[in-house]
Amino acid sequence: MSIRSLIQDMRFSRSQRVVQDRSAVAAPEVGDSVKQSCWAHMPQELLREVLMRIEASEAAWPPRKSVVACAGVCRSWRLLTKEIVKSPELSGKLTFPISVKQPGPRDELLRCFIKRNRSTQTYYLYLGLTHALTDEGKFLLAARKYKRPTCTDYIISLNGDEMSKASSNYIGKLRSNFLGTKFTIFDGQPTDVGAKFTKSRSTRLVNLKQVSPRVPAGNYPVAHISYELNMLGSRVRTSRGPRRMQCTMDGIPASAIQPGGVAPTQAEFSSSTAEFFPSLPFFRSKSTRMESFLGPSAKPKDGVIVLRNKAPRWHEQLQCWCLNFHGRVTVASVKNFQLVASPENGPAGPEHEKIVLQFGKVGKDLFTMDYRYPISAFQAFSICLSSFDTKIACE
């Protein structure tokens, strides 16, 4: 039996199991159908060989959905598939949903693009499947803009049709201040044990029993973005230069860009939030609400990585400021930028010349987004969303 026919047979067996589970929920023997299947009892050596061949042969999307299908057969297949499939840092591939929360590859930029829907204020992130700027792409994330009286929120979800914090597909948000000059990226789940939980109006609950245990309703600040101000209070932008921005990545140590450096990597989405969220009082004082809105200080913390704009060069023939996007950007825009690691406490090295994130316009509502280690697709997408946010006082 060939690898492809094996996958088709496995998918058919899985679809039958799903139908049985839905039609006979009350039958106890149905729950054990997976354990009794021939796939679950396949010898581990043979199973490992099959999964390794599938992983090697289906290297790109859409064929790579076969790898995801293998992980959904049963528990033993899922555990072994997760062991075989490496993180984006090592493989340069985005396979499972958790991949969008893991750092990108070290040696190259991962090519993505963003589509904007002006009518619904929604932004869609896709993984580029080819080197062309017009391919269909593999959907990764979606974000929707919500204007508040004193701020703007971008709710980020794994599903473009469920843009709510009450959804299990919610993974985080981006929040701006009133002027649109300072932004905070919030993760729905803590990236490390010492993460600080920030309250918001959506977490005003008597206790966690009022929320589904799979709803990640937390607000954990993981990064701060600030645009420098001029004397008039708007974002600094010379008539021919890009905006000046600074991104402080709270959870990523400055040593992560060094050879052998390590950035926090999330292994999986938490199935329960009870271990993360303390009991929250229903009533809060005014000072507590104000502290929640402002969030932690945006000042750079010691020992964390800080990203800044790469300085453009003046082009004498074109009479404008230019950045080399290596063909990934075709339309001049103030939104275009390249971010590199800033040498905060020492001399600049070759690692500070590498582009960590670049974002640029290629069409009316189409933008490219390329990122690499040590930031994730979620963090890169959030930073790019801050470039879309515009107000009268900011331009």
| pLDDT, tens only, 309-364 | 887 787 777 767 788 888 898 888 888 899 999 886 566 777 788 999 999 999 99
Rg over alpha carbons for the chain, rounded to the nearest Å, is 23
Beta pairing, strands 337-341 & 320-322:
unpaired
Q: What is the DSSP letter of 32?
A: T
Q: Phi/psi class of residue 86: alpha, beta or left (left: φ > 0; alpha: ψ in -120 to 50)?
A: beta
Rounded to two decimals, the pTM is 0.79
The mean pLDDT of 295-321, rounded to a whole number, is: 72
The mean pLDDT of 172-178, rounded to a whole number, is: 92
- Determine how many CB atoms are found less than 10 A away from the CB of residue 108: 11
The mean pLDDT of 4-20, rounded to a whole number, is: 54
**Predicted confidence (pLDDT) at residue 77 exceeds the cutoff of 80:** yes
| Residue 21 phi, psi (nearest 5) | -65, -35
Say how far apart CA 250 and CA 185 lie, in whole Å.
10
H/E run at residue 84: helix 75-84
Say how far apart CA 307 and CA 94 lie, in whole Å.
23
Q: Specify the higher pLDDT residue, 296 or 279.
A: 296
CA end-to-end distance (rounded Å), the chain: 63
How far apart, in Å, are the Cα atoms of 352 and each of 106, 257, 310? 13, 8, 10
Helix (H, G, I), strand (E, B) or coil at 143: strand
372, 137 in Cβ contact below 8 A?
Answer: no
Res. 268 pLDDT band, cuts 50 70 90: confident
For tokens 């039609």, what's the residue?
Answer: 23
The amino acid at 16: Q
Say how far apart CA 9 and CA 15 lie, in whole Å.
10
The region of weakest confidence among 2-6, 83-87, 293-297 is: 293-297
